[in-house]
Amino acid sequence: MEHIQRSIRESAATRWTALIFASLAIFGAYYFNYALSSIKPMLESILGWNSEDFGTYTSAYAWFNVFLFMLIFSGFILDKLGVRKTGLGATIIMFVGTAINYWAVKHQFADGSVVSIPLIGDMKTQVFYSSLGFAVFGVGTEAIGITISKAVVRWFKGKEMALAMGMQMSIARLGTMLALIISLPLAKNFSVTAPILFALGVMLLGVVSFILFSIMDIKLDKSEGTAAQVVDPDDEFKISDIVNIISNLGFWYIAILCVLFYSAVFPFLFYATDLMINKYNVDPYWAGAIPGLLPFGTIFLTPLFGGIYDKYGKGATIMIIGSLILIFVHGILAIPAFNAWWIAAIMVIVLGIGFSLVPSAMWPSVPKIIPERQLGTAYAVIFWIQNIGLMLVPLVLGYVLNSTNPDVSPNKKLVKSAMQSSFTKALANYKYSDKEIEKAVDKATGSAVDSVVQYSSYEAIPFANVDTKKVENEIALNIGTGLENVDFNMGKDKVMDDVVRIGRNSAFKTIKNQKLNLRYNYLYDMLIFLGLSSLSLIFAILLKIEDKKKGYGLELPNIKQED
């Protein structure tokens, strides 16, 4: 009797274990992607960045993917070399990019140093190298993203594919939730580089995890007798196939929906912690917990909605509902009068529902539109288009936020400068290193600015009307008076705690007296998010119309019923 070999993917336990190993490889990517977004206030107060610098940094994620077409090449490489080699290379690249970023943020560059970039102009040196690391990281992250998407199709085709894609996204978004919740406390308790150092450790975990997945994937080849088979020439990817992909109208609708939808969510998360502090007066230490509710909800809901799509279909309808939810949430968040923290918390939870609906249906719909042999390149082109949005939207958001709040960044620099000169002068006769003084200045400045934003309410004056010399002198006088009561014979840590407290209280008092503007108004940025959400609804409707014309089966279940 002929022996029939059974594929290991027929075992539910085996295919779900493989999914977990593959997903852990991208967990770290989702963590580091938002690690610095949570500490935006500290980047400004301590490192001297402004919102435009932060927008440049967040947009850098897509530099190489968009301008050097690295995502497209990643798709070609994936279709040629396969999941295992592409994925391992991607995880290593993510680690390298994170390491460059860690060096850039930790390194002390000369004050005022810039890097001149053709066609762009001067960029702060630290911002440039930090952005460069983030750009390298982005290459690896997008490559691992399309790799795992194709891996899920390979392991779950004809099975619980939408549920599996939802589970993969859920595990990845645990990284986002972790970043939003712990990054700011990590930075405040240790240093501004602590969240990045933590990311390096998680990246190493991702490399090991993907190696374990690759071992299982090799076993899958052997169980299906495909390890040594020669690929059928008809199944090989050809460059000409990309013409078939981009000439497919349904593909364009889903690609444009993808870029609009994700541009209305991912950049929002970059700025969400700062929004919670500035509009909703949330304690900076806990501000990341509210946007952290979004990925927390999607962890459970994305697999749930994916399971519904698997069993009952209605993929195009699900995407329309998700887009409507985005419009509602960003509309509520844009209203200035709605500034209670619990409103923001509820809206973030609702946004999590919308964010679960669209991806749970969108990614499993791509294999219904594009043949499997072209999937790597199809996902790559979609991700490339998405990266254009993820590059341009944060850049626009940062520019708009900085332009509509021109006083905030100069005032933060003024406060730190006054604190720096005051501490240096006051502690000159004691045995404190420059590094210790700098650390005290960073803590005191950040605490003073955060306290003003959280607790104070006054009619701020324009920076042009601020008497900068008076501010510096008042802070210096208050700090000097306060330090007269400090017993410098106590332990070093106790002394520095007292110094930081005095510096914070002195600056806080001066900022209030002089009515310095330190609070960002996010209204115009929220209107941008509302516009993106509205456009995503239009393309979700167009996709449903195209599905009716072409019969892709987006409204049909994914699980094939056995005879």
Q: Which H/E stretch holds residue 482?
A: helix 468-483
Judge contact between 401 and 522, C-beta under 8 A.
yes
* Least confident stretch, 13-17, 449-453, 514-518: 449-453
Query: Token pair for residue 477?
Result: 């006088």
Distance, in Å, from the CA atom of 468 to the CA atom of 470, rounded to the nearest integer, reads: 5
Rounded distance between C-alpha atoms, residue 535 and residue 3, angstroms: 55
Determine the longest span between alpha carbons in the chain, in angstroms. Answer: 95
Mean predicted confidence (pLDDT) in 99-121: 85
Which residues neighbour 512 within 8 Å (Cβ) at sequence distance 6 or greater? 452, 456, 458
Q: At what angle do helices 523-550 and 375-404 cross, to 10 degrees?
A: 160
- Tallying the residues shown for the chain, one arrives at 563
Ranked by mean pLDDT, which of 166-170, 433-437, 497-501, 515-519 comes out on top?
A: 515-519
Q: Which of 142, 162, 143 is nearest to 152 (CA)?
A: 162
* Residue 266 burial by Cβ neighbours in a 10 Å radius (0-12, 13-18, 19+): buried
Residue 114: beta bridge partners? 124
Distance CA 258, CA 256 (A): 5
Q: What's the CA gap between 414 and 407, in Å, rounded?
A: 11
Sorting pLDDT into bands at 50, 70 and 90, what band is 560? low
- Give the distance, in angstroms, between the CA of residue 550 and the centroid of all CA atoms in the same chain: 35
pLDDT at 238: 60
**Burial (Cβ within 10 Å: 0-12, 13-18, ≥19) of residue 510:** buried
Look at residue 408 and tell me whether its pLDDT is greater than 50: yes
Higher pLDDT among residues 312 and 347, named by residue: 347
**Mean pLDDT of the residues in the chain:** 84
Q: What confidence score (pLDDT) does residue 508 get?
A: 87
Residue 94's pLDDT band (cuts 50, 70, 90):
very high
Cβ atoms of residues 385 and 259 within 8 Å = yes
The reported pTM is 0.78
Pull the structure tokens for residue 241. 């196939």
Rounded mean pLDDT, 396-423: 89
pLDDT > 50? residue 544: yes
pLDDT tens for each residue of 251-277: 899 999 989 998 999 889 889 988 998
- What number is the average pLDDT over the span 540-561? 83
In the predicted model, is pLDDT for residue 451 greater than 60? yes
Q: Are 273 and 291 in contact (CB under 8 A)?
A: yes
Rounded to an integer, what distance in angstroms lies between the CA atom of residue 60 and that of residue 213?
A: 30
Mean pLDDT, residues 19-42: 87
- CA dist 264 and 326 (Å) reads 8
pLDDT band (50, 70, 90) for residue 350: very high
Q: Is the pLDDT of residue 357 over 90?
A: no
Selected residue with higher pLDDT from 61 and 485: 61
Per-residue pLDDT at 464: 87
C-alpha to C-alpha distance for 354 and 312, rounded to whole angstroms = 19
Q: Which helix (H) or strand (E) holds 285?
A: none
* Percent of the chain that is helix, strand, coil (3-state, to 5): 75, 0, 20
The pLDDT of residue 123 is 86
CA dihedral 301, 307, 309, 310 (to 10 degrees): 160
Q: Is the model's pLDDT at 439 over the cut of 90?
A: no
CA distance linking residue 24 with residue 208, whole number of Å = 9
| Statement: residue 128 has pLDDT above 90 | yes
pLDDT tens per residue across span 227-255? 443 444 444 556 666 777 878 888 899 99
Query: For tokens 């939808």, what's the residue?
Result: 261
**Helices marked H in 190-312:** 194-224, 241-246, 249-263, 266-278, 293-312
In sequence order, the β-bridge partners of residue 123 are: 115
Alpha-carbon gap, residue 188 to 277, rounded angstroms: 15
CA distances from 6 to 50, 224, 562 (A): 58, 7, 17
* DSSP secondary structure letters along 95-142: HHHHHHHHHHHHS-PPTT-EEEETTTEEEEHHHHHHHHHHHHHHHHHH
Which helix (H) or strand (E) element contains residue 538? Answer: helix 523-550
Most trustworthy range by pLDDT among 168-177, 252-261, 492-501 = 252-261
pLDDT at 562 over 50: no
Task: Kindly provide the residue ranges of all beta strands, DSSP E only, lying in 413-550, ordered along the sequence.
Answer: none
For residue 99, what are the contacts with CB-CB under 8 A and spacing of at least 6? Answer: 133, 200
Q: DSSP label at 433?
A: -
Give buried/exposed letters for 406-440 (b at 16+ CB in 10 A, else e).
Answer: ebbbbbbebbbbbbbebbeebbeeeebeeebbebb
**Percent of the chain surpassing pLDDT 90:** 23
Listed in sequence order, the DSSP H helices in 405-457 are: 408-426, 434-455
3-state secondary structure of 555: coil
CA distances (Å), origin 211, targets 25, 79, 149, 153: 9, 19, 17, 19
Domains of the chain: 14-225+247-405+521-550 (1.20.1250.20), 408-514 (no CATH)
Torsion-angle region of residue 9: left (phi > 0), alpha (psi -120 to 50) or beta? alpha
